Amino acid sequence: MSEKKIVAMNPVGYPPTITQLGMAPRLDSLIGKTVYLVDCRFDDSDVFLRQMQAWFQEHMPGVSAVFVQKSGVYTEDDPRLFEEIKASGGAAVIGVGH
Amino acid sequence: MHAITLESQYGVPTVAIHTDRFEKAVRMTAYARGMPRQRQVFVPQPVMGKSPRELRAYVDGTDPITGRPVMEEVVEALTAPLGEEDRKKVSFERSTPRFAEPDTEENLHRLFLENQWTDRLPIVLPTEERVAQMLAATSHKPDEVVGRMRPTSTREAWEYTVEKVAVNAVMAGARPEYFPAILALAASQATARGSTTSSMAAMVVVNGPIRHEIGMNWGTGAMGPYNHANATIGRAYGLLSQNLQGGSVPGQTYLGSQGNNYAYNSITFAENEERSPWEPFHVQHGFKPGDSVVSIFTGCRSTAFTLGLRERYWREHVVNLLRGMDPHCPPTFVLDPITARQFVDRGGFDAKEKLIQWVYEHATLPAGQYWDYQLIQNYVYPRALNGVEPYATKLKAADDELIPMFRRDEIHVVVVGGETNGYWRIMGCNYQKSVSVDEWR
């Protein structure tokens, strides 16, 4: 092939600006709090999260680990559930994403 | 995605659980959505199909990425104080240069390959001169924004111009006269490189005068590698999808477990309007016969086939094919003209709509079996619970009651083939939209 240098155009599109979002303050402790185990409804996530609920009951009985299923398919938000979790003052574990 | 929403919009400390195969993908998503330090814990893949006992072992076990106990990480993610990096809110621009660095032809080919800008087949280098020739085939300005595309609904959408589409069209080996059809595909904003684990491909049906103008094939071998326009328009659609959406890289922006050979040219062909007994696909969808149109289907994975329609048991044979489809992936009948006419003769279907109605009524499953399909559980059952029709009504059926596998509006019919025989197939796929080619001339 020729050693002559040529110019080619870049085929990649233009990415959007990233605006970094702040994270929520963490809890001092989970004891006395509600931890929502949120099933995002993907491929047997419910079976996994119920095992995590059992772990909390055995190892951290002072934590109220509540299993909930998100409304709608896994890509859809569930504002009513999210408001409930916020009002509880607790935390959330959501899964299982793949 | 929901974890980021809970953190940023509801102020809830959250940890997301993922399987280890998705580490790169979820870290990239968290970064692009603005929470690069989102708390994530990983468990082994798969979760699907594992027993409660096996999944309890995941909970009691270690994160395969970090080697630390899963539950220790979960508790820490929710209680360990945030650092300065976690709390800050900043914005930053990302950009894409117009040109690659000047280099030899050999090195540029290597660069395009290493940057994963190709489908791993040789490409035509998009020099400024070649791109200018492509741009001359449309009245639209090079800097006009054509649309935005993303590999899946949870990823960020990237923007692209007429010029960026032209660069990819050149790479695919397309001729300038094909460019309006390629721009129409780009304007659909439907990706041919979805990141789904299901390894989907796209399918493109072209209708109207453009078929003749650029010499497309709707006859013998139309769905195979025997026509330059079919081959390169479809290839361009794949290349522009992967590059304009910001990538289709295995493990990062492509997660199809098995992959899909259909993706090389997105099953691109013209409808055989001249030999079809029915009105063309684009006319069914609101266009005039003289309009040139591309129609896009996605989710192509499954194909069923048979030869002709036998007099005695054709109904049962068609139903058997339909029962072989996943009910989440509706049927598009892809018929050789010989078989299209057989459907008219055997069933009296003198319009595509009559065949579609018959398929809707006869493609049924016992409700218990229908609801137990994994994809129905993932994508349809939650909607039924929310009262979305027709799924909510289906949910009321007893387990042994036969219910439709598909919605009527999801079933489609296209005619293609050269009548060398009456072979025909059913493609499991989702019709997305039809876009005017004429508007991109």
Question: Does some domain include residue B424?
Answer: no
Q: Above 90 in pLDDT, residue A97?
A: no
- SS3 string, chain B, reads CHHHHHHHHHCCCEEEEEEHHHHHHHHHHHHHCCCCCCCEEEECCCCCCCCHHHHHHHHHCECCCCCCEHHHHHHHHHHCCCCHHHHCCCEECCCCCCECCCEEHHHHHHHHHHCCCCCCCCCCCCEHHHHHHHHCCCCCCCCCEEEEECCCCCCCCEEEEHHHHHHHHHHCCCCHHHHHHHHHHHHCCCCCCCCCCCCCEEEEEEECCHHHHCCCCCCCCCCCCCCHHHHHHHHHHHHHHHHHCCCCCECCCECCCCCCHHHHCCCEEECCCCCCCCCCHHHHCCCCCCCCEEEEEEEECCEEEEECCCCCCHHHHHHHHHHCCCCCCCEEEEECHHHHHHHHHHHCCCCHHHHHHHHHHHCEEEHHHHHHCHHHHHHCHHHHHCCCCCHHHHCCCCCCCEEECCCHHHCEEEECCCCCCCEEEEEECEEEEEEECHHHC
Per-residue pLDDT tens for B139-163?
A: 999 999 999 999 998 899 999 999 9
Task: Give the pairing type, strands A34-39 and A64-69.
Answer: parallel
Question: Does some domain include residue B353?
Answer: no
Residue B86's pLDDT is 84
Question: Does some domain include residue B27?
Answer: yes
Residue A98's pLDDT is 63
Contact across the interface for B17 and A94, Cβ inside 8 Å = yes
Question: Does some domain include residue A9?
Answer: no
Per-residue pLDDT tens for A13-37?
A: 999 999 889 899 999 999 999 999 9
Closest chain B C-alpha to A63 CA, distance in angstroms:
11
Q: pLDDT exceeding 70 applies to what percent of chain B?
A: 100
Tell me, yes or no, whether B79 and B113 share the same domain. Answer: no
Tell me, yes or no, whether B254 and B139 share the same domain. Answer: yes
Q: Does B58 touch chain A (CB under 8 A)?
A: yes
| B251 contact residues in A (CB cutoff 8 A) | none
Q: Above 90 in pLDDT, residue B88?
A: no
Ranges B86-90, B95-99, B114-118, B313-317: which has the least confidence: B86-90
Tell me, yes or no, whether B68 and B116 share the same domain. Answer: no
Question: Does some domain include residue B354?
Answer: no
Closest residue of chain B to A71, computed from CA coordinates:
B382
Burial class for B428, CB neighbours closer than 10 Å (0-12, 13-18, 19+): buried
Q: Above 90 in pLDDT, residue B19?
A: yes
Tell me, yes or no, whether B132 and B179 share the same domain. Answer: yes
Contact across the interface for A51 and B149, Cβ inside 8 Å = no
CB B247 within 8 A of CB B24: no
Closest residue of chain B to A78, computed from CA coordinates:
B2
Cβ under 8 Å to B: A residues 19-48 = 19-30, 35, 38, 40-45, 47-48
Closest residue of chain A to B106, computed from CA coordinates:
A1
Question: Does some domain include residue B321?
Answer: no
Tell me, yes or no, whether B245 and B218 share the same domain. Answer: yes
Cβ under 8 Å to B: A residues 54-83 = 54-55, 59-60, 70-78, 82-83
Sign of CA dihedral B323, A47, B152, B197: negative
User: Three-class SS of residue A88?
Assistant: helix
Reported residue count of chain B is 441
Q: Above 70 in pLDDT, residue A1?
A: no
Tell me, yes or no, whether B124 and B201 share the same domain. Answer: yes
Q: Does A87 touch chain B (CB under 8 A)?
A: no
Q: Does B436 touch chain A (CB under 8 A)?
A: no
Contact across the interface for A42 and B378, Cβ inside 8 Å = yes
The mean of the pLDDT values for chain B is 96
Tell me, yes or no, whether B159 and B278 share the same domain. Answer: yes
Question: Does some domain include residue B286?
Answer: yes
- Give whole-number Cα distances, B12 to A55, A89, B242, in Å: 22, 8, 35
| B156 contact residues in A (CB cutoff 8 A) | 15-16
Tell me, yes or no, whether B151 and B212 share the same domain. Answer: yes
Closest chain B C-alpha to A79 CA, distance in angstroms:
9
Counting the structural domains of chain B, the total is 3
Give the range of the structural domain holding residue A76, as residue numbers without chain letter. Answer: 42-92
Q: pLDDT exceeding 90 applies to what percent of chain A?
A: 80
Question: Does some domain include residue A26?
Answer: no
DSSP state of A35: E
Per-residue pLDDT tens for B116-140?
A: 999 999 999 999 999 999 999 999 9
Q: Does A7 touch chain B (CB under 8 A)?
A: yes
The ipTM of this complex is 0.94
Q: Does B312 touch chain A (CB under 8 A)?
A: no
Contact across the interface for A10 and B97, Cβ inside 8 Å = yes
Sign of CA dihedral B15, B19, B20, B25: negative
Cβ under 8 Å to A: B residues 191-250 = 197, 239-240, 243-247
The mean pLDDT of B422-439, rounded to a whole number, is 98
Question: Does some domain include residue B248?
Answer: yes
Per-residue pLDDT tens for B255-308?
A: 999 999 999 999 999 999 999 999 999 999 999 999 999 999 999 998 999 999
Contact across the interface for A23 and B82, Cβ inside 8 Å = yes
| B78 contact residues in A (CB cutoff 8 A) | 26-27, 30, 35, 91, 93
Residue A76's pLDDT is 86
Question: Does some domain include residue A21?
Answer: no
| A24 contact residues in B (CB cutoff 8 A) | 6-8, 10-14
Residue B298's pLDDT is 97
Residue A89 tokens, joined: 């003052």
Tell me, yes or no, whether B222 and B293 share the same domain. Answer: yes
Give the range of the structural domain holding residue B81, as residue numbers without chain letter. Answer: 2-87
Of residues B5, B82, B98, nearest to A10 (C-beta): B98
Question: Does some domain include residue B417?
Answer: no
Question: Does some domain include residue A70?
Answer: yes
Tell me, yes or no, whether B191 and B293 share the same domain. Answer: yes
| A19 contact residues in B (CB cutoff 8 A) | 34, 89-91
Per-residue pLDDT tens for B360-416?
A: 999 999 999 999 999 999 999 999 999 999 999 999 999 999 999 999 999 999 999
Query: Residue B226's pLDDT band (boundaries 50, 70, 90)?
Result: very high
Place of tokens 């940057």: B115
Tell me, yes or no, whether B234 and B382 share the same domain. Answer: no
Counting the structural domains of chain A, the total is 1
Tell me, yes or no, whether B256 and B288 share the same domain. Answer: yes
Report chain B's terminal Cα–Cα distance, integer Å. Answer: 39
Q: Does B156 touch chain A (CB under 8 A)?
A: yes
Per-residue pLDDT tens for B26-51?
A: 999 999 889 999 999 999 999 999 99
Q: Does B91 touch chain A (CB under 8 A)?
A: yes
- Give whole-number Cα distances, B40 to A45, A89, B19, B280, in Å: 16, 21, 10, 50
